[in-house]
Structure 1
Amino acid sequence: MKYLLVLLAITILSCSERATTSSAQAPEAPNAQTAPAANEANDAPAAQTAPSANTAPDAPSAPAAQTAPSAPTPSQQAQVKQAAGAPQVPVAGINWKLVELNGKNIEGKTAKEMYLFLDPSSPLFKSHSGCNLVTGEVKRGGTDQMWFINLLPTTMDCNTPDIDAEFQRALELVSFYKVTGKTLVLSKKGNVPVMTFIAKG
């Protein structure tokens, strides 16, 4: 009987130890995996915002209005008409017919026509006073200066000696010239006209 109790006690202890060992060795249930909310939130690509509408380019500014040119004055219109109707001719190489001498109409007052011709290839000129042939040299300076020098007139008798002398004297006084269209005006000092010619032909 005594041995039976001891055996029972040992059996109980043995069973108790096995139960304890089984309890200790039982694997722990895996913890439920928590959803990686924070990381997933961070890893998730940020929602792309819709591209803002492109702003329309600035409209090009309208070009500044150009002011219309002012209308020509009556005097300018007259000059244009004169230039259009009478093209200017060169002073040299033209047969110039004398029409006024010292402000007086001289046409038809002499036996022969009074004229002036400037040689375009030399500083020489020839002219006619209506009575005598007058030759010599011509000098030009600047844009409007002219002088007749070394005059050599013939010595013909004529019925208009006064006009002949006045013609030669006028040539000696010339200091300026001006060509307008087909008109040549020779003037003395002070721009006083002494001889007016028109181009022939």
Structure 2
Amino acid sequence: MKTNVNGRTVELLTGDITKQQTDAIVNAANGTLLGGGGVDGAIHRAAGNNLLTACKSVRQEKLNGEKLPTGEAVITDGFRLPATYVIHTVGPVWSGNHQQRDEQLLADCYWNSLQLAADHQATSVAFPSIATGVYRFPVDLAAQVALTTIARFLRNQNDHDIRYVAMVLFSEQDYDIYQASMEEIKTSTRDLE
């Protein structure tokens, strides 16, 4: 499913984010940036050992040895991936106790990733469904946050070259949830055209 936002395309896909031929793909990383399970592990395996080395350098040089904070984003090369860049962001772990704060942190993941892609002159970006795996963020709420944030960025930030954003979803079930959310947003707001 595709939609248009301010002359730019947002598309929902099912598939493997490591195969996307976009300028940048986004990694749903953990704060250590050292790889893990799910999307994070798949991206590290596909990119090769140089990605781990680059992530260690980012931790030392940009984060002073600290973990990447939730909602923030950093960028590395894509190495063996088709994508030129990997943008690493850390989603919130869902507790259900601080829903508004968790929603804002998830929105920050998308916004900061798009801003970093724009800063590196990317024209296309592919996202996974951030924080909906082991971090347990409810997929229906994550879809609303993701699509609304992407649409607002594309509508309100005009000083960038991003023309295409893909949400690459792992399962048909997730795709159906994102599709329903996209259709709901299209009818209830002007965020999606």
Bigger RCO (CA 8 Å, 6+ sep): 2
Task: Output the TM-score relative to the length of structure 1.
Answer: 0.25
Larger fraction in strand: 1
Q: Larger C-alpha radius of gyration, 1 or 2?
A: 1
Larger fraction in helix: 2
